[in-house]
Amino acid sequence: MAFPKHAEYVIIGAGIHGLSVAWRLAQRLQAKGVSAEDKIIVLDKSGIAAGASGIACGVVRNNYFQPAMRELMAHSVEVWESEPEALHYHDVGYMQISPESMREDVATIYEQQRAIGYESEFIEGASASDAYMKAMFSDWQAQNITSVLHEKRGGFSNNTKTMQGLARLVEALGVRIITGVTVTGLKSDNGSGAINTVETDQGAVQCGRVIVGVGPWACQFWEMLGLPDKIKVKDLNGDTHEDVDMWRFWQLEEGVLNIPPETLLTDAGDVPPVLHVDTDAPLKSVVDGSIITEDIWGIYYKPDWHFNGVQGGASPYKIDTPAMEVAIDPYGPSSPVFVASDDFALMWVSALAHCHKRFEGMMPKYRNEASGGIGCFTADSFPVFDNFCENVMMICDSNHGWKMIGVGHLIADEVLGEKQSLLEPFRFDRFTKGKLHPVSNSPYPWS
């Protein structure tokens, strides 16, 4: 099929966001009796799920300290639940297991989940929390835990299988997904300021609207649009900071224990919720008993038949990587982001053993896996969803992407002229207006 010379909607990126936008746009057009064929195209420089979406751990949760994030995630969970088989979604729930320093924050999350009708259970106190976990896992042994937030919805999905299923939904609606196409420029040549040409290595495409959903490559397209790499930020105290970096990069490390996933079933033989444990108890090496850290630490993990083991990760760390180097190829096949460090491997397996006796002696079973990678974060570590150059919608997910499948649906509705209140807290002007999101006591930058 010939490369198209025109499309009303050009979506850049065949990951979770790009295909979600295409899905909703095509559904809306179909409802009006309009075929998506020749109206919507999705361009990707590599292939479906070739970037961040293809190596996502797949966790879907509502657990956020920020009210706007909670409401956005509740909407996204509904989208996951709408097509569980096609999206390879497992609604097993999610648990936030925390120390005393986080109890008040997590209690706030619980109360606000109740306020929006998102089902969860909150257990407080060290004894009650320990009993709750031991009712599920008799070998539970994590220390310094004083609260458990058990979200009954949420869970996880299976990255590449999910993306392939989403692509099938999109293509069945007439959307054309074109892979192996590199976008080289966004051009405005009609004097209005709007982008009317998407330039690629295979030719130019005339367009009406552009939607950019490229994950960690967002900074590259930000530069194409001439947007600032240094911004002014007013913080929650009202103080203004000049020349703040718009983009920051964090390394996310994840791995797999190469053991039967059934090893992490509950005592009742059920697939457990996704488990996220934060604690300030000293973390001891599972190899020699030495102290790894006495600071607060956190891990997440789950049994995963897609990864064929117990899969998860830990808190990320900042990296000093030039923006363009990251933007060009942060997920290339020879990139070191695929290989978690030895320090991570020891920390993560030791943390698993801290939580469950069953993982003691498991260090030899650790396996590096193509998951994690470099995350491109905004100045405040939360997403930016906004329109630039009159007709370019930027989806800058700040590494919250996978679980946010519903964002694409909201973006599609907004592109069709319907402003979405759930997106309002994530506009770019929040930085100058001082409308930043509150920050919790979690060790994670996105919480």
Per the prediction, the chain carries an average pLDDT of 92
DSSP string for residues in 282-334: PEEPTTT--EEESS-EEEEEEEETTTTEEEEEE--EE----HHHHHH-TT-TT
Nearest alpha-carbon partner for 20 in 283, 304, 408: 408
Whole-angstrom CA distances from 105 to 65, 102, 145, 187 are: 7, 5, 14, 46
Which two structure tokens, joined as six digits, stand for 18?
A: 């790009």
pLDDT of the residue at 439? 81
pLDDT of the residue at 55? 83
Of the chain, the percentage scoring pLDDT greater than 70 comes to 94
pLDDT of the residue at 444? 64
Say if residue 329's pLDDT is above 90. no
Compute the distance between CA of residue 394 and CA of residue 211 in angstroms, rounded to an integer: 6
Whole-angstrom CA distances from 278 to 74, 129, 314 are: 23, 13, 10
Assigned CATH topology for domain 1-90+156-229+381-447: FAD/NAD(P)-binding domain (3.50.50)
DSSP state of 157: E
Assigned CATH topology for domain 94-152+248-377: D-Amino Acid Oxidase; Chain A, domain 2 (3.30.9)
pLDDT of the residue at 379? 94
pLDDT digits (tens, 9 = 90+) for 351-399: 999 999 999 999 999 987 766 678 889 999 999 999 999 999 999 999 8
Question: Please, are residues 47 and 14 in contact by the beta-carbon 8 Å criterion?
Answer: yes
pTM: 0.92
How would you class 439 by CB atoms within 10 Å of its CB: exposed for 0-12, middle for 13-18, buried for 19 or more? Answer: middle
pLDDT category, 322, cuts 50, 70, 90? very low
pLDDT digits (tens, 9 = 90+) for 339-361: 557 799 999 999 999 999 999 99
pLDDT digits (tens, 9 = 90+) for 191-212: 778 999 999 999 999 999 999 9
Mean pLDDT of 105-120: 95
Neighbours of 40 (CB within 10 A): 27
Q: What is the dihedral sign for C-alpha 380, 351, 321, 163?
A: negative
Nearest alpha-carbon partner for 125 in 109, 141, 148, 106: 148
pLDDT of the residue at 340? 59
Compute the distance between CA of residue 447 and CA of residue 443 in angstroms, rounded to an integer: 8
Say if residue 152's pLDDT is above 60. yes
Q: Which residues contact 320 (CB under 8 A, 6 or more apart)?
A: none
pLDDT category, 154, cuts 50, 70, 90? very high
3-class DSSP state for residue 40? Answer: strand
pLDDT of the residue at 21? 98
pLDDT of the residue at 149? 98
Q: Which residues contact 211 (CB under 8 A, 6 or more apart)?
A: 9, 10, 11, 12, 18, 21, 392, 393, 395, 411, 415
Give the H or E element holding residue 243: strand 240-245
pLDDT digits (tens, 9 = 90+) for 80-111: 999 999 999 999 999 999 999 999 999 999 99
Say if residue 59's pLDDT is above 60. yes
pLDDT of the residue at 330? 43
User: What is the residue extent of each domain of the chain?
Assistant: 1-90+156-229+381-447, 94-152+248-377
pLDDT category, 16, cuts 50, 70, 90? very high
Which two structure tokens, joined as six digits, stand for 278?
A: 């934060």
Say if residue 324's pLDDT is above 50. no
Whole-angstrom CA distances from 403 to 16, 19, 85, 94, 411 are: 9, 14, 16, 12, 15
Nearest alpha-carbon partner for 167 in 256, 270, 48, 285: 48
pLDDT digits (tens, 9 = 90+) for 253-273: 899 999 999 999 999 999 999
